[in-house]
């Protein structure tokens, strides 16, 4: 049963990511002249209704939806396809199974939920990588995410082991050193550092 348990949890987490991708809110400002002018009166009314519903949401909910949408946009096509498939599979489940899976995801702490927004591969490894990347300066975020997405599972495992050993005061220097390693040398570099 451990394999089934793991598969069920993975499905839960994939669903949670996939089910929320389009919820960023109205993308059109009323003063976006050309686009607004090209709309029919019905389209304008529909947009205004969506805008009113968006504005009625609590600020925390709007920020959460924007964050989820931004995370979705950072995923590559392969990860998006996996998540769409997971959402389609979820939609076919009976309502009680859907509720149970959703409850399992909701029971995860915020850190784990945010980690799954990075996609299936990084989401699975995020709890172990989190010590290195939880308080990443904004100017390092893009480069670090690209770096992490280029690592294979073994390299992420080596990095996760290192993440547990590097003291907080040394993490920034370690991240800079890590990003400077040429792509073709990363695996060996991570393995060497792990074995020290």
SS3 of residue 192 by DSSP: helix
Q: Please report where in the chains the tokens 């909701």 appear, as a residue.
A: 106
Task: From residue 89, give the alpha-carbon distance in Å to each of 75, 93, 108, 151.
Answer: 20, 7, 21, 28
Secondary structure (DSSP) of 92-146: TS-HHHHHHHHHHHHHS-HHHHHHHTT-HHHHHHHHHHHHHHTT--HHHHHHHHH
How confident is the model at residue 194, as a pLDDT?
92
**pLDDT bracket for residue 4 (50, 70, 90):** very low
Q: Tokens representing 15? A: 């669903």
% of the chain surpassing 90 pLDDT = 23
Q: Tell me if the pTM is above 0.75.
A: no
CA distance 139 to 124: 24
How confident is the model at residue 86, as a pLDDT?
80
DSSP 8-class letter at 20: T
Average pLDDT, rounded, for the chain: 81
> Is 90 exceeded by the pLDDT of residue 68?
no
How confident is the model at residue 3, as a pLDDT?
43
171 or 71, greater pLDDT: 171
> Is 90 exceeded by the pLDDT of residue 115?
no
CA distance 157 to 163: 10
> Is 50 exceeded by the pLDDT of residue 67?
yes
Which of the listed ranges 76-90, 108-122, 127-141, 144-158 does the model predict with the highest average pLDDT?
144-158
From the list 127, 139, 7, 122, the residue with the least C-alpha distance to 74 is 122
Specify whether the CB–CB gap between 193 and 166 falls below 8 A: no
- Say which range, 16-25, 38-47, 87-96, 118-127, has the weakest mean pLDDT: 16-25
Scanning 20-58, the segments in alpha helix (DSSP H) are 33-38, 41-56
> Is 60 exceeded by the pLDDT of residue 20?
no
Q: Domain residue spans in the chain?
A: 1-108, 118-196
């Amino acid at each position: 049963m451990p394999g089934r348990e793991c598969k069920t949890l993975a499905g839960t987490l994939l669903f949670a990511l996939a089910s929320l991708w389009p919820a960023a809110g109205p993308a059109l400002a009323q003063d976006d002249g050309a686009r607004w002018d090209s709309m029919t009166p019905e389209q304008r009314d529909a947009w205004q209704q969506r805008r009113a519903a968006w504005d009625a949401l609590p600020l925390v909910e709007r920020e959460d939806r924007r964050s989820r949408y931004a995370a979705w946009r950072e995923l590559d096509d392969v990860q998006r396809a996996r998540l769409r498939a997971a959402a389609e599979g979820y939609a076919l489940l009976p309502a009680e199974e859907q509720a149970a899976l959703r409850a399992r995801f909701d029971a995860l702490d915020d850190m784990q939920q945010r980690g799954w927004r990075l996609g299936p591969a990084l989401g699975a490894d995020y709890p172990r990588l989190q010590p290195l990347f939880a308080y990443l300066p904004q100017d390092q975020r893009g480069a670090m995410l690209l770096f992490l997405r280029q690592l294979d599972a073994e390299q992420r495992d080596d990095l996760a082991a290192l993440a547990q050993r590097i003291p907080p005061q040394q993490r920034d220097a370690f991240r800079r050193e890590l990003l400077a390693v040429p792509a073709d040398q990363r695996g060996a570099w991570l393995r060497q550092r792990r074995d020290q």
